[in-house]
Chains A and B, each alone.
Chain A
C-alpha cells in the first residue's frame, strides 16, 4: 500500500516544549487513519504540519511520494489537503453558499456569479447527502450541519487528503452516525482520511489503522486488531519507565461527616448525572481520557458550569453552586486553561494571588498591602515561582510559573475543599514532585482535595480514591489497592 501523504522523522520544538520528536506518519488512499493521544501528545502539531499551519524543524513531508513544503494553509489546500476542525472555522453570519464559495467565487463578466455559486454549493452538499437552503446564514443551522458544510468546503475536486480533527465532539449520537457514514463513503471514493477523536468507540468503528502519540513521540502504530483498547490506554497514559511507586501506604478510608456531597449533579449534553462525596483530609482523583468529562465535572461542582440536575451540599448545607457561593463556603478552584480562565496577564503576581481571598472578603475590606506582600512572598517561596519580585505582571512569567500563581491564588483563599484541574500541566519535573507532595500535605492538614488529571502516576501518588470517567459519565470508583495503573486503565478501557 503506497502512502498518499507521508511524514518522515518530523520534529518540532516550541520554546520550552519538544512538541514532536522523530515522528513517522502515513496515510494511504482509501484509508481512515486515526491519530490518538492526550493533550500535549503532539497531535495538533502533526496536523498543523500536514495542513500548512506550521512547518517542521526537521523531517520530510511527502505527497504521493513527492517531497512537499507547505508555507501556508493555502499551499496545503492547493496541493489537495483539506481540513475540518472541531471549532467550525466558518463564518456563521455568511450564507452557506458564501461559506462554501469564499476564496474561489465563480465569476461572469468580472462580477461574482452567485447563481453559479449556489448551484455549486448545492452540488457539493448533495455529495454528502445534505439538502438544505443554501441561502440562509450558516449560523441558523445545527453544529452537525455546519460540520458537514465545513467538510464540503474542505473537499475540492482535487482533494486527496482530508483531516478531521474532533469532528464529532459537539454532535449527538444520530448526528455522529451520519457523519461516520459520510466518512466511510469518502473513504470508498479513495480519499486518505486522518481521523482524530477522543471517542474510542468511534475510532474503533471507523479506523483502518491507529497511530498513538505521547509526549511528542510515536508510541504505537497498527490496526485496531493489533491495538485493542486494553493495549491502547496504557500506550496513551502509561509511563514506559519503571512502575510508579505509590508515595505512601494504600489510601486511607475516610468516614464520618463529608464536607462535600454531590448527588445526581449533571448537565444535559455536557455531563451525565454523577454522585461524589469528599471527606475532610481526603484526596480524590478524577481519571479518564481527554474528553471523558474530567474538567466538566470539576466545573459543575465549583459552579463554573451551571448544573441542570442534581444537588450539591457543602458541610450539610445545600447550595446553588456558583463561583461566588462556592468560594464563600470554602471551595477553591484551579482551572486547567490558565490563559483563558486563570491568569490576569496585566496584573502583578501579588494581585493575581490575592484576588480570590479578596473577593471572598468583599470589596470594602481590602487586604492591606503588607498582607498582600506577605501572602505573595510566602507563596512565591512555597511554590518556587521563579520571579525577581511579586510585582512582575503574571503575563511575563513562563507557563509553569503562571500555573503556580493560579494554584497559589486557590491556596491563599483559605479553602476547605480544593479542586485542581490538571495542576501540574506544563510544570517542570522538579516542581511537579513538589506539587504532588503539597497536595498530600494539604490533605494531611484536613483539606478535601479533588484532582482532575490526565497523568495516572500523579493520581496514583495523591489519591485516596479515584473516580473513573468515560464519555462524559462516571463509570467506576477505585480505592485502596485498586489504585494502580493496571486497574485504572482497565476501568477506563472497559467496554
Chain B
C-alpha cells in the first residue's frame, strides 16, 4: 500500500507542478512564491480563472513559483475566512467573484469581503433569462405578466443556491418587476447542466443562468432567450437587455481577486502591478477569447467601490428573503 499511496502523492504533485512549475529564473524583479487560493473545488469557474491567471503570470515571467491551491467549502466562505485570518500576508491572493459575496451573506459568515484588500476584477459574464423553445412566452413582458399574476405557479430555476449569482439575478428581476422576492418560486439546481435538463424536460417555466452555459442550446434552438441581464446585448444572441425590455436592472456575474487584510503598501502595489501586467499580456487576452470570458478589468479603488455596491445589493436581496 505504501508504494501505492506514494505513487498517488507523486502524481498529484506532478500535476500541480505542471501548472505551477517551470518558472524561468531570468525574470528580474518578479513576484516570487505567490500562492493563489481557489475557494471552490478543482474544475470549476474560479479554478479555471485562477489557474489560467497563474499560468500566464509564469509564462510572461511576471512571477515565479505561483502555486494554486483549492480550499473549498460553503460557497467560498471557508476560503474567505482563511484569507481574513492571513492578515498581512503579502504572498497570498484569493480568486473570488459575486458568488462569494452572496455566500458570505447567505451563510452569515463572520469573515466579510469588506475586511479584505481588493485587488482587481478580471472578467464578467451576463446571465440570460431563458424558456424552453415550446414555451408560450415570447418576450420578457409576456413572462413577467404571467409571473406577476401567479408567482407560485411559475417555478423558475437557476444553477446556484440562495445567495449565488443565478438566485440573485432572479430575485433582482422579480423585485424590479414588482414581485415580492419571498413570493418567488425559485428552484435550486446543482449547476447550469442540471438546470438546462429541467428546462428541456419542461419542469420549470423559465431559467436564469450564465450566458456561456447556454450558447450551444441557443444555437440549436432548444431554448429561447427572452433577455440578457448585462448592460449591452451579447453578440450572437438575438435578445434585448433587461433595460430595453423595461426592467431597470443591470446584472453580471463577475470574477476578481482579493488579498488578505492589512498587507503592506509595497506588497499591495506589487500585487496590483502583477495583476495589471498580467492583464496586459497577449497570453491573457488569448485566454479570454479561448474561454469565452468578457474582459471587465477594474482595479484598486474603483474595484473597492464596485465591491461595496455589489455587497449592498446582494445584502438587500437576501435581507428581503430573511437570509441576510
Interaction A to B: no
Chain A interface residues (CB < 8 Å from chain B): none
Chain B interface residues (CB < 8 Å from chain A): none
